[in-house]
């Protein structure tokens, strides 16, 4: 099957196309394989919200849930068994991609979001999920909360590949990159191998615009300025993140690790579905093109780019404009530190809510199957 031309062009520009969705139906129907074969998909990301929708909306899980129910396993064990099975199958489907391009062919599984503020529990769960799925092309998703940062270092030091999620600010992104390098350094110091260890740093985009646009509307700033700035901060913030990535992964500290076999932690653009219908439905792809990046897309966004996407200004030519946008937003009275704090808190809570919904759904299914 020939690859879609727009997505193939994106891949050639150095952007790895990943799908931000997974379900048993998607695997069994051949849909995921068709996206690999025809839409340049080389990775998959999941989260509690995705699994809540998958399990509640399909009967493909009935047989497994029945078997778990008659064994009287706990809801938590059943939940992990079911989600790990989907992720394991997706890892197997993408194994040929991983063999051809070791940084790709990855599937992400998230630690329980309720552990986001507990360093030790997050690191322990990361180790358990790595053991449970037991596939080298797995990523364990760890949120970039203050408690998550040292858990990232510990997990990398244990030889486990990590997708760091829920990054909103440049300050936190720098802490994430430092945590990755520290984990690699600790592993080397303890005599471990860096072979097979990879990481991505998931920098969220559209949610930044949603929050800042709302605050701009309420800011009392000049109407023409508000119109000019709306829908600009999410991309600008991500463009400046790539600038920080270039700086860190050209440093002497990084070169020393690279010489011992380390691979760079790639920036991953997440939350790339456009929330505002007034904006271009492909803007979080078109304006975030640069070598060594990943863009994980909901299928709707992927198909929009496949249909009519076109490259915008390359990230590396956008730094001055991006910095100017963020200054202008701040000058308009928007407290960016507060924006990023609120976004992180809301994001963690949304995943906790989805996890609770998923837990309730699995509990109900187990009770029905007994």
Pairwise CA distance, residues 79 & 97, whole Å: 28
The partner residues of 41 in beta bridges, in order of sequence, read 17
| Regions of the chain where pLDDT drops below 70 | 370
Residue 111 is given by DSSP the state: P
Pairwise CA distance, residues 177 & 182, whole Å: 9
Concatenated DSSP letters for 30-82?
THHHHHHHHS-EEEE---HHHHHHHHHT-STTHHHHHHHHHTT--HHHHHHHH
Give the pLDDT confidence score for residue 367 in this predicted structure: 86
Neighbouring C-beta atoms of residue 254, cutoff 10 Å: 19
pLDDT digit string, tens, across residues 313-361: 999 999 999 999 999 999 999 999 999 999 999 999 999 998 998 899 8
Contact 219, 334 (CB under 8 A): yes
Helix (H, G, I), strand (E, B) or coil at 181: helix
Is there a catalytic annotation at residue 141? yes
**Residue range 5-369 in CATH 3.20.20.70:** yes
Q: How far does CA 148 lie from the centroid of its chain? A: 15
Helix (H, G, I), strand (E, B) or coil at 161: coil
pLDDT digit string, tens, across residues 244-285: 999 999 999 999 999 999 999 999 999 999 999 999 999 999
Contact 320, 45 (CB under 8 A): no
Closest C-alpha among 110, 97, 102 to residue 39: 97
Pairwise CA distance, residues 298 & 60, whole Å: 21
Active-site option among 141, 214, 228, 230: 141
Give the pLDDT confidence score for residue 262 in this predicted structure: 98
Here the tokens at position 143 are 């949120």
Closest C-alpha among 41, 33, 43 to residue 4: 41
Contact 285, 35 (CB under 8 A): no
For the chain, domain boundaries: 5-369
Residue with tokens 């364990």: 140
């Amino acid at each position: 099957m020939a690859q879609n031309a727009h997505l193939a062009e994106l891949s050639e520009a150095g952007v790895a196309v990943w799908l931000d969705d997974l379900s048993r139906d998607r695997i069994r129907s051949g849909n995921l394989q068709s996206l690999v074969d025809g839409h340049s998909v080389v990775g998959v990301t999941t989260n509690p919200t995705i699994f809540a929708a998958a399990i509640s909306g399909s009967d493909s899980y009935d047989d497994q849930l029945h078997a778990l129910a008659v064994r009287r396993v706990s809801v938590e064990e059943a939940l992990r068994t079911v989600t790990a099975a989907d992720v394991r199958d997706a890892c197997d489907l993408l194994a040929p991609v991983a063999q051809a391009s070791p940084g790709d062919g990855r599937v992400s599984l998230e630690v329980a979001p309720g552990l986001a503020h507990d360093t030790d529990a997050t690191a322990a769960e990361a180790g358990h999920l790595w053991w449970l799925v037991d596939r080298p092309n797995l990523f364990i998703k760890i949120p970039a909360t203050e408690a998550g940062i040292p858990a990232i270092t510990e997990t990398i030091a244990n030889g486990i590949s990590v997708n760091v999620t829920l990054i909103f600010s440049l300050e936190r992104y720098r802490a994430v990159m430092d945590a990755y390098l520290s984990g690699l350094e600790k592993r080397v110091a303890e005599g471990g191998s860096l072979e097979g260890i990879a990481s991505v740093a998931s920098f969220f985009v559209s949610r930044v615009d949603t929050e800042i646009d709302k605050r701009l509307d309420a800011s009392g700033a000049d109407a023409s300025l508000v119109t000019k700035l709306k829908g600009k901060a999410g991309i600008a913030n991500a463009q400046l993140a790539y600038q920080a990535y270039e700086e860190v992964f050209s440093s002497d500290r990084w070169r020393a690790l690279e010489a011992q076999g380390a691979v760079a932690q790639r920036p991953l653009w997440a939350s790339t579905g456009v929330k505002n219908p007034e904006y271009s439905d492909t803007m979080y792809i078109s304006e975030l093109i640069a070598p060594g990046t990943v863009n994980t897309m909901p299928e709707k966004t992927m198909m929009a780019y496949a249909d009519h996407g076109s490259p915008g200004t390359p990230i590396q030519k956008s730094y001055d404009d991006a910095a100017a946008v963020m200054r202008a937003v701040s000058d308009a009275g928007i407290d960016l530190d507060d924006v990023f704090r609120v976004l992180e808190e809301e994001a963690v809570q949304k995943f906790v809510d989805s996890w609770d919904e998923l837990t309730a759904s699995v509990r109900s299914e187990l009770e029905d199957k007994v």
